[in-house]
Amino acid sequence: MLALDKDTFESEVLEAEGYVLVDYWSDGCEPCKALMPDVEELAAKYESKVKFSKLNTTKARRLAISQRVLGLPTLALYKDGEKVDEVTKDDATKANIDAMIQKHVG
């Protein structure tokens, strides 16, 4: 998974063509760390269709808020730079993330 920061977010997500999944997480978020292996499995599954990336919000708080992310974990799916869907908190499970990608990407 591609590690994003506040300097690369724009080019890697907002200016990217096609589908990009962003895993918003932080150092203090234990549920985020628990979920990450599942997200990595999905990254392998959708390797050719979706670019998987992650953003540590500890160092990019304003950026996260600008993307209307104020709770972790949040998994957001972008298409051509526009956020098209997301799952957050208790809904952020492997099954739900998979379903979200299926719905948009197929």
Choices 15-23, 40-48, 65-73, 96-104 (CB under 8 A): range interacting with other proteins: 65-73
> Of 60, 61, 75, which Cα lies nearest the Cα of 24?
75
- Which of residues 3 and 70 has its CB atom nearest to other proteins in the complex? 70
Name the segment binding other proteins (CB under 8 A); options: 2-10, 11-19, 41-49, 55-63.
55-63
**Count of residues that interact with other proteins, criterion CB under 8 A:** 25
Beta-carbon contacts of residue 83 (< 8 Å; ≥ 6 apart): 67, 68, 76, 77
DSSP H stretches of helix in the chain = 9, 30-45, 61-66, 94-105
Residues in 8-47 that interact with other proteins by CB under 8 A: 26, 28-35
